[in-house]
């Protein structure tokens, strides 16, 4: 069979800033023309990805509180997606920040991650209330993302009115230059129409994969494009009914395969090679879903094993169970937070913390006499897999 000629995915247009001339790329509207070539390999990958995603979506219902699982996974995704952009925050840094404790990294790094949590949480809340995925919602999430910290001067919540670029000191020397401002609104209007495409036009996973590349190519904001583009994936899968909750996050896969990720984005723009990108993306969905299923299973097993250890405490087991249940909701806590959440005296709480530490379930992580913090180590280890700074 003859190989398919390169597909044209857009055009370069001449533009200039002051006296400096450059070429900017304006992508064609989605879906691609000619259409995606669903060869045997791509079809098989799509089937495996859908099956793995279905298993993951189902197993989360086995957790005692699926909302708490989502709470933790949103935070892990925030850490990973921000790390791709160069921040050095870990999951524990974010959790300490949320407890009003001093993290071990520059405060701007943690603020960026916290902003990501706010942006994603806002998107989830709006969609649950019936608000559609749209340019307006994307702007709202962007406003949350850059509300505080380093990006707060980069026009939060507004599409850019000036030229941006990737790499190099100017558009003339850049690695990639997205559409100039006068072409931006047309590109975004076409993009929004595709967001509302039916399943007959594009299966949900294919649609999310195509939309992610298109958003990154349009690069509509002065800052935060990568983070917004990644969170769109999970939200689109919820919109199209593939996931009950936006619980699939590919930032760890993209972080672990950064060179391939950028190579595939460029191959789409330069050669129209959507098929290789889709195979890469679907492999990521399958791997991420399978890893998440294994993590849920290990989490359930950990909770069961550690709760069984409480029987050795006799009459204190009930109070210890209440304290441990709080750590299944937030794996890092101090006595002050427990006092707010539990109907227990301070001496009782400290007694249960000591008992759980002696059983090897909790670890005291600060070594201080006052304002001490404890971590549910086995659970935190599962949540934190792959989330160390790059």
User: Mean pLDDT over residues 197-222, rounded?
Assistant: 93
As a whole number of angstroms, the distance between CA 272 and CA 131 comes to 33
Cβ atoms of 187 and 125 closer than 8 Å: no
Residue 344 and residue 283 share a domain: no
pLDDT at position 27 over 50: yes
Please list, in sequence order, all residues whose beta carbon lies within 8 angstroms of the beta carbon of residue 240, skipping any fewer than 6 positions away: 199, 204, 207, 208
Within this chain, do residues 234 and 334 fall inside the same structural domain, yes or no? no
Indicate whether 11 belongs to any domain.
Answer: no
Q: Tell me what pLDDT residue 207 has.
A: 96
Residues 214, 302 within the same domain = no
Task: For residue 264, tell me if it sits in a domain.
Answer: yes
The pLDDT of 44-61, averaged and rounded, is: 91
pLDDT(90) > 70: no
The predicted structure's pLDDT at residue 7: 78
Residue 26 has pLDDT above 90, yes or no: yes
Query: How high is the pLDDT of residue 336?
Result: 86
Confidence (pLDDT) at 2: 45
CA 38-40-45 angle, 5° bins:
85
Domain boundary among 262, 295, 328: 295
In this prediction, residue 86 carries a pLDDT of 61
Those residues whose C-beta lies under 8 Å from the C-beta of residue 48, and which sit 6 or more positions away, are 282, 286
Cα atoms found within 13 Å of the Cα of residue 81, Cβ hemisphere only: 29
- Of 63-67, 105-109, 129-133, 375-379, the one with minimum mean pLDDT is 105-109
- The predicted-structure confidence for 314-330, as pLDDT tens digits, reads as follows 988 899 999 999 999 88
Question: What pLDDT does residue 107 have?
Answer: 58
Query: What is the per-residue pLDDT for 322?
Result: 94
251 with 304, same domain: the answer is: no
Compute the distance between CA of residue 163 and CA of residue 103 in angstroms, rounded to an integer.
Answer: 36
pLDDT top residue among 30 and 118: 30
Question: Which of 295, 329, 351 is the endpoint of a domain?
Answer: 295
Is 306 in the same domain as 289? Answer: no
What's the rounded Cα separation, in Å, for the pair 120 and 327? 23
Q: Do 230 and 250 touch, CB atoms closer than 8 A? A: yes
Q: Which residue has the higher pLDDT, 383 or 139?
A: 139
390 within a domain of the structure (yes/no): no
CA distances from 318 to 42, 297, 298 (A): 53, 25, 24
Q: What is the mean pLDDT of residues 16-34?
A: 91
Distance CA 80, CA 390 (A): 9
The domain of 31 spans 25-295
292 cis-preceded (ω within 30 degrees of 0):
no
φ/ψ (deg, to 5) at 23: -115, 130
Q: What's the pLDDT tens digit per position in 155-183?
A: 899 999 999 999 888 898 999 999 999 99
Convert the pLDDT of each residue in 361-378 to its tens digit: 999 987 766 778 899 999
pLDDT digits (tens, 9 = 90+) for 295-314: 888 988 999 999 999 999 99
User: What is the pLDDT at residue 143?
Assistant: 94
Q: Which pLDDT score, from 0 to 100, does residue 81 have?
A: 72
Note the pLDDT of residue 100: 64
- As a whole number of angstroms, the distance between CA 243 and CA 235 comes to 9
What is the mean pLDDT of the segment spanning 134-144? 96
Q: What is the pLDDT of residue 246?
A: 80
Query: The domain that contains 274 carries what CATH number?
Result: 1.10.3290.10
- Cβ(122)–Cβ(141) under 8 Å? yes
Q: How far apart are CA 25 and CA 271, in angstroms?
A: 13
Residues 50 and 123 both lie in one domain: yes
Q: What is the pLDDT of residue 91?
A: 67
| Strand-strand pairing, 332-334 and 362-364 | unpaired
pLDDT in tens, 233-263: 989 998 998 888 888 888 889 988 999 999 9
CATH of the domain at 374: 1.10.10
Domain boundary among 295, 328, 353: 295
10-17 and 362-364 strand pairing: unpaired
pLDDT digits (tens, 9 = 90+) for 214-230: 999 999 999 989 889 98
Q: What pLDDT sits at residue 1?
A: 42
Confidence grade of residue 103 (pLDDT, cut at 50, 70, 90): low
pLDDT above 60 (res 64): yes
Residue 279 phi/psi, 5-degree rounding, is -65, -40
Under 8 Å between Cβ of 9 and 28: yes
Please answer whether residues 377 and 70 qualify as being in contact, where contact means their C-beta atoms are separated by less than 8 angstroms: no
| Domains of the chain: total | 2
């Amino acid at each position: 069979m003859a190989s398919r000629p390169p597909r044209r995915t857009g055009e370069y247009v001449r533009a200039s800033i002051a006296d400096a001339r450059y070429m900017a790329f304006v992508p064609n509207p989605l879906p691609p023309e000619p259409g995606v070539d669903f060869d045997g390999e791509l079809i098989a990958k799509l089937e495996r990805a859908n099956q793995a995603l279905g298993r993951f979506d189902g197993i989360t219902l086995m957790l005692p509180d699926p909302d708490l699982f989502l709470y933790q996974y949103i935070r892990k995704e925030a850490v990973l997606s921000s790390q791709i952009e160069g921040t050095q925050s870990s999951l524990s840094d974010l959790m300490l920040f949320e407890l009003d404790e001093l993290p071990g990294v520059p405060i701007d790094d943690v603020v960026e991650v916290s902003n990501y949590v706010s942006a994603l949480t806002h998107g989830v809340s709006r969609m649950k209330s019936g608000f559609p995925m749209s340019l307006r919602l994307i702007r709202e999430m962007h406003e949350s993302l850059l509300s505080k910290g380093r990006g707060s001067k980069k026009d939060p919540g507004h599409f850019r009115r000036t030229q941006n670029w990737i790499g190099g000191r100017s558009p003339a020397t850049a690695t990639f230059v997205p559409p100039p401002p006068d072409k931006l609104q047309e590109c975004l209007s076409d993009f929004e129409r595709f967001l509302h495409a039916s399943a007959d036009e594009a299966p949900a996973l294919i649609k999310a994969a195509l939309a992610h590349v298109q958003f990154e190519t349009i690069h509509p904001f002065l800052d935060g494009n990568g983070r917004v583009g990644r969170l769109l994936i999970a939200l689109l899968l919820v919109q199209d009914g593939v996931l009950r909750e936006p619980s699939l996050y590919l930032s760890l896969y993209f972080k672990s395969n950064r060179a391939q990720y950028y190579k595939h984005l460029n191959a789409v723009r330069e050669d129209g090679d959507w098929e290789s990108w889709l195979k890469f993306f679907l492999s990521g969905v399958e791997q991420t879903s399978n890893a998440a299923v294994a993590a849920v299973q290990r989490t359930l097993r950990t909770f069961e094993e550690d709760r069984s250890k409480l029987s050795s405490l006799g009459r204190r087991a009930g109070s210890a169970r209440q304290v441990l249940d709080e750590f299944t909701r937030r794996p890092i806590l101090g006595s002050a937070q427990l006092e707010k959440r539990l109907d227990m005296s301070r001496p009782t709480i400290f007694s249960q913390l000591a008992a759980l530490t002696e059983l090897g379930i909790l670890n005291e992580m600060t070594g201080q006499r006052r304002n001490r913090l404890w971590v549910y180590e086995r659970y935190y280890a599962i949540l934190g897999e792959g989330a160390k700074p790059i």
